[in-house]
Amino acid sequence: MTYINELCADIGTDNCPCPLAETGDCLVCSRLAGRGECNCRWAGVCVYNEYIQNGGAVLQRREDRPVEILKKTWYGSDLLVLVLKVSKGFALRASRPGSFVFVNPVGRSAVSNVPVSIMRTDAEEGKIFLAIRIISAKTKAVAEAEDMLMLRGVYRNGLLGGGLPGLRDDVRSVRAGGSASGQGKPQERRWLVMTKGAGFAPAVNLLTAADGKVRTDLLIDTEKIGEEMISDNLRTVKGMDDGMVKAGAVSLLEMTEVLKAERAKGRYPSPPGIDKVEAYDRVMILASDYYIKTLAECLEIPSRKLVFCNNFRMCCGEGICGACGHTDRTGHVSKMCKCRNVDVGELLGV
């Protein structure tokens, strides 16, 4: 969780400076964005100095690499879980919440790259687990691959929201056994996590990072993934056996309809089986933008608590192509494969 910050998903990592530095479009460094003065808001290692010391070149490019497919597990006719062989270091980096990668069949054009959230990792064995819903040409091609795939990553901006810095502090706190600074008495943290469809994958990675030390209410809409897939991948999550993580099946559609109807009557109930939003340190909605917006409104989730999945269209992952661009009310364009300092209310239209 070290690298969650509100400026750029890659700043301060081994992928910084990135290709945007070469084109004068750095999201953080004013000098690498074409301006003469230094007025960045980054308090870490100087991006400009790193770029100059590296000979005016990108420090470490993410390159496509061939990886072995260790296992393919089908759940129904359109949901596939892939286990890929990677280095231990790659698996460790991929274990951070919000991580995603691009996969592509060997020999196919880069336009066939598919962005996929990391669901689980095994750093000791050098494995990553990906869940892919087979929808159209690109995902069908990935599903047809037998032995090898091209892999590129790790990318870090799979989660957004004003609650991201707090999410980092939650994990630091429980790992330190006290406050976020590692001092003081242990403070129990509470999360509410709601998922639907592909949002289940980043939820598993998130709970794995919590290591069974954050009391979590997990609400899973099983409509698109099924109970077998859920049980197979929650089995390794710490906290499931001792009650720290309580999982339950829900219909987010029914939940939102009830909440909207109650809100129209001036009532603001909590969904069955969970507490009021005030009882949670973080509320995470890993579903489509409709559910993110509707639940954030109906439950009146404060920005500082809200974390949600990044549903923007990902193409290159480096902020170059513009596919994930978000234009705000002032005309400023944010590259959502990297940016985090956007107005959450405007992003969701709330």
User: What backbone phi and psi angles, to 5 degrees, belong to 24?
Assistant: 75, 30
The per-residue DSSP string of 78-127 comes to TEEEEEEE--HHHHHHHTSTT-EEEEE-TT--GGG-EEEEEEEEETTTTE
Note the pLDDT of residue 284.
95
Cα–Cα distance between 350 and 104 in angstroms, integer? Answer: 36
Note the pLDDT of residue 176.
64
Cα–Cα distance between 102 and 305 in angstroms, integer? Answer: 29
Residue 101 forms beta bridges with which residues?
116
Low-confidence stretches of the chain (pLDDT beneath 50): 1-5, 180-182
Cα–Cα distance between 178 and 350 in angstroms, integer? Answer: 35
The per-residue DSSP string of 6-60 comes to SSBTTTTSTT-S-HHHHTT--SS-SGGGT-SS------SS-HHHHHHHTTSS-SS
Note the pLDDT of residue 320.
87
pLDDT tens readout for residues 173-203: 766 665 544 455 557 889 999 999 989 999 9
Note the pLDDT of residue 4.
44
Place of tokens 């909605």: 285
Note the pLDDT of residue 2.
39
- Global pTM reads 0.89
Note the pLDDT of residue 341.
64
What is the dihedral angle through the alpha carbons of 108, 111, 112, 115, rounded to the nearest 10 degrees? 130
Note the pLDDT of residue 275.
86
Note the pLDDT of residue 153.
84
Note the pLDDT of residue 292.
92
